[in-house]
Amino acid sequence: MIRAAGGVVRDADGNVVVVHRPKYDDWTFPKGKLDDGESFEQAAVREVEEETGLRCELVEPIGELTYRDPKGRPKRVRYWLMRPIDGDVRDREPDAEIDQVRWVDPTTAEQLLTYEFDRRLLRSG
């Protein structure tokens, strides 16, 4: 089982952070695989910071998704509602994994997000 974690980062105005992955040409929430010995919570905070440039705190768990990845391996991803405490998405340099990071209002997020599960996370967070 591949284990991963991520977050729906929401600011005081209700805006959320979305990321674009050029490899998949999709818009989604920041997430990534757990490192050895890392908890889901630790991975969520680390991955969100790596992918967005934002240091965040966990607010509450908001969802879990289990599916098979493109190689047919089972994968579990846990998500948290998160609050930014430091950093700026404009300071993050684009790379091959994440080439765009945006703060958007919930209506724009609904339109941008590629996956229905992400839209459900948006509504629950």
State in Å, rounded, how far the first CA of the chain is from the last one. Answer: 26
Model confidence at 110, in pLDDT bands (50, 70, 90)? very high
3-state secondary structure 14-82: CCEEEEEECCCCEEECCEEECCCCCCHHHHHHHHHHHHHCEEEEEEEEEEEEEEECCCCCEEEEEEEEE
Q: What's the pTM value of the predicted model, to 2 decimals?
A: 0.95
Instruction: Express as a percent the part of the chain with pLDDT over 90.
Output: 97
Residue-number span of the structural domain to which 23 is assigned? 2-118
Query: What pLDDT shows up at residue 125?
Result: 79
Q: Is residue 121 within 8 Å of 44, Cβ to Cβ?
A: no
Question: Residue 9's domain is classified under what CATH number?
Answer: 3.90.79.10
For the stretch 53-92, pLDDT in tens is 999 999 999 999 999 988 999 999 999 999 999 999 999 9
Domain contains 76: yes
Domain contains 125: no
Domain contains 83: yes
Tokens read off for 90:
């404009």
Domain contains 123: no
Number of separate domains in the chain: 1
